[in-house]
Homo-oligomer: A and B are copies of this chain.
Amino acid sequence: MSNLIIKPIGIVRSEINEEMLKYSNKDIKLDHGLISHHRSNLKTQEILINKEYEECLDGIKDFSHIVVFFWTHKNSDEARQIKKVHPAGMEKMPIKGIFATRSPVRPNPICTTTVKLIKRIRNILIVEGLDAINNSPVIDIKPHLPSYDSPEDVKIADWMFRIMDEFKKFTKNSDANQTSEDSTFNMRKHPCLSPEQRES
C-alpha cells in the first residue's frame, strides 16, 4: 500500500506549548508537572484555518460541537514505530497495544478531539476543550453528530476508568477553576455507557 499525502488546512493557537505525553525509550511518559497547566488552558483555543479554506467553514455555526483532526507534529520517525505502551504513560497501568489506547504517539499521529465551538470569525474558530499544543497542524474539521459519533450501550476498559481516577488525584487540589471538561471526571455517569458500567 502506498503512502498518502495530507495537506494541513490550518493551525492550532494555544497557550499550551509542551506535550503532556511524550515518546521516551519505546514507551510514552506522562509529565506530571504539566497536568494542571494543560487543564487550566483547556478553556479557549483558536484554530486558524488557511485563507484558501475559509469558505469551507460556512454553516459550521449550525453545530454546537466539532471534531478537530490534528497532527501531533513533534513525533520523530522513531516514535512512530511504537507498538505498545503503558496507557497515559502511567507505569502502573498494564501495557497495551497502541490501537487500544488514545496515545498521541502512534504510527500515524492523528488525534481527534471533540470540542465546543464558541465562535467563528471569518477563518478563525474559537473552541473550548482542545488538547492540542500550540502550532499543531490541523488536517480536518467535521461537525459532531451524536447519532453517528456517540453510540449507546458502550463498554470501556477498566484501566481507562483507573487512568481517570489518577488524573483526578493529580488535579484535585491544584486546580481551583473547574471547567466544563471536568465531565471526563464523571465518566462513570455518562448516558452512553452500558448499564453495567454506569453509575446512577
- Asked whether, in the complex, the Cβ of A114 is within 8 Å of the Cβ of B148, the reply is yes
- Asked whether, in the complex, the Cβ of A60 is within 8 Å of the Cβ of B99, the reply is yes
Residues from chain B with a CB closer than 8 A to the CB of A107 are 7, 9, 53, 56, 140
Within 8 A of B (CB), among A82-106: 83-84, 94, 96-102, 106
Interface class of chain A by DSSP: mixed
User: How many interface residues does A have (CB within 8 Å)?
Assistant: 78
Q: How many copies does the complex hold?
A: 2
Residues from chain B with a CB closer than 8 A to the CB of A30 are none
Asked whether A33 is an interface residue with its Cβ less than 8 Å from the other chain, the reply is no
Asked whether A176 is an interface residue with its Cβ less than 8 Å from the other chain, the reply is no
- Asked whether, in the complex, the Cβ of A6 is within 8 Å of the Cβ of B9, the reply is no
A selection of 5 A-B contacts at a CB cut-off of 8 Å is A53-B99, A67-B112, A112-B112, A143-B160, A146-B156
The residues of A with any CB-CB pair to B shorter than 8 Å are 1-9, 11, 49-50, 53, 55-60, 62-67, 69, 71, 83-84, 94, 96-102, 106-108, 110, 112-114, 116, 137, 139-160, 164, 183-184, 186-187, 190-194
